[in-house]
Amino acid sequence: MVGREVTPELAFRLGACFVKKRGERIVVGRDSRSSGEMLESALVSGIISSGGVARRVGIAPLPAVSLAVRDYGDAGVMVTASHNPPEYNGFKLFGDGGGEAGKAEEERVERGIGAAKLASWDALGRDERLHSVVRDHIDLALSLVDVGLIKGKNPRVLVDCGNGAASVEMPFALREAGCRVVAVNAEPSGLFSRGLEPCAENLCDASAMVRAVGADLGIAHDGDADRAVALDENGRLLGLDAQLALVCGEVLSGGKRKGTVVSTVEAGLLVRDAVESAGGKLAVARVGSSFVAREMARLSAVFGGEPCGEYIFRGGVPVPDGILSGLKLVELFCRRGKLSGQVSRLKPVFMRRAKYPVKDKAGAMKRIAPGIEKEFSGKVFAEDGIRVDFSGGWVLVRASGTEPIIRITAEAASEKKLEEVFSRAEKVVKKFA
Ligand code: MG
């Protein structure tokens, strides 16, 4: 929380120890939180004090900050707490090329934080401003969607920026793409009119407004705009797996590109079916956008998406891009018609999730994983919990990152099959937990 763990002192020290060598250019961006300006100023002061060049972007979506790091920096920091409540804030680190900083880099910074050395008076760095970052990112995003198609349809789009970083970019990007735009919560004031997670309970107003203005679809973002979710013309969310499945289909067949798509252990059958029926190959990664990005690079994948609404596109930036995702959802509407109709044509989903409290989740998982592997035969992925994919279904057993619980997720082609798969997995978990 700001004022407790996250303070200007911490931001200063982080800035000071983040600079590796004199003259290094560190791009600094932020979302719209009220504590953002204070933390940004302290961070910049730290960067200058150790001889670095701070290149300020101001309020910008996370993918725009990533692009600025790629084009104008050696590394970067964004002051953001993504979708978390307004009293929180934090720092997201970027490496060379604009990707999320790896674990090694984060550890280097953490070790250095108590012992930052200040440069002498004649070796201080400086403060610079970058003005074209949002413009650059709009251009990049528009180059990756079919603007001709969107202009031809001229759809009415309601966008809910959640008073976050999307406010400074998404209404402009949509208008340039050829949409009739109704923008709400689009003042990046630091005062939030809704919760920043783009989920159903936070999007009641957006849903009503989609209907009230007769929009063809709605787009909503989280605080740092690395995520986008779509609402259909009735103001209903598509569902996270359904949305991801539709975007996978659009990327693979709309763009007429075959290839590999990366998702995580949490992606369901809709995603697998969408990728395979469009002629693509689905690869599974650990949960977390940095793992998805790394796997995409390794496999030269065309797209990487997590069910939470974080999508990475080849040709774009190596972090989730909520602005481009939102434009892709508009493109999807323009190419294939009403989103409600597209969702209704997907197969029904039979999925079940349950959690089990455990004392030692790491120890329990060590015993459970071989048990699950023995119980189910299929394709095994064991780098993040254990997932087994078999014909017509899959099962995942995974420890929570934050709570002392283990979760089972299972999906199958029918209710009956699901019951069977789930109870077999549950038996293994209960035996070894
Ligand atoms: Mg986010």
Å from CA of 400 to ligand 1 middle: 19
Token pair of 40 as six digits: 């940004």
Q: Using CA atoms, how far apart are residues 47 and 53, in angstroms rounded to an integer?
A: 7
Instruction: List, for residues 126-140, the tens digit of each pLDDT value.
Output: 999 999 999 999 999
Instruction: State the pLDDT at residue 402.
Output: 82
C-alpha closest to that of 311 among 348, 249, 351, 262:
262
Instruction: State the pLDDT at residue 336.
Output: 95
Residue whose token pair is 């940004």:
40
User: Mean pLDDT by 10-residue block, N- to C-terminus, for the chain (433 residues)?
Assistant: 92 94 95 96 97 98 98 97 92 94 87 86 96 97 97 98 98 98 96 94 98 98 96 97 96 75 95 93 94 96 95 97 98 97 94 93 94 95 94 94 91 95 96 88
Å from CA of 227 to ligand 1 middle: 6
Residues with CB under 5 A from ligand 1 (ion): 82, 222, 224, 226
Q: Using CA atoms, how far apart are residues 152 and 415, in angstroms rounded to an integer?
A: 43
Q: Return phi, psi of residue 417, to 5°.
A: -65, -40
Instruction: State the pLDDT at residue 106.
Output: 87
Å from CA of 62 to ligand 1 middle: 8
C-alpha closest to that of 324 among 231, 260, 244, 228:
228
DSSP state of 233: T
Contact 187, 73 (CB under 8 A): no
Instruction: State the pLDDT at residue 254.
Output: 60
DSSP state of 254: I
Instruction: State the pLDDT at residue 257.
Output: 60
Instruction: List, for residues 19-46, the tens digit of each pLDDT value.
Output: 999 999 999 999 999 999 999 999 999 9
Å from CA of 123 to ligand 1 middle: 36
Q: Using CA atoms, how far apart are residues 305 and 243, in angstroms rounded to an integer?
A: 10
Q: Using CA atoms, how far apart are residues 40 and 27, in angstroms rounded to an integer?
A: 11
C-alpha closest to that of 145 among 177, 188, 113, 121:
177
Token pair of 307 as six digits: 């069910």
Instruction: State the pLDDT at residue 256.
Output: 57
Contact 164, 32 (CB under 8 A): yes
Å from CA of 355 to ligand 1 middle: 25
Kindly list the catalytic residues.
Answer: 82
Contact 406, 364 (CB under 8 A): yes
Å from CA of 312 to ligand 1 middle: 13
Instruction: State the pLDDT at residue 48.
Output: 97
User: pTM above the 0.85 mark?
Assistant: yes
Which runs of E-coded beta strand occur in 44-179? 53-59, 75-79, 91-94, 126-129, 156-160
H-only helix segments in 180-321: 204-212, 240-249, 269-277, 289-299
Q: Using CA atoms, how far apart are residues 101 and 76, in angstroms rounded to an integer?
A: 9
Å from CA of 117 to ligand 1 middle: 32
Å from CA of 308 to ligand 1 middle: 10
Å from CA of 128 to ligand 1 middle: 26
Q: What are residue 55's DSSP bridge partners? A: 27, 128
Å from CA of 340 to ligand 1 middle: 25
Token pair of 420 as six digits: 């069977």
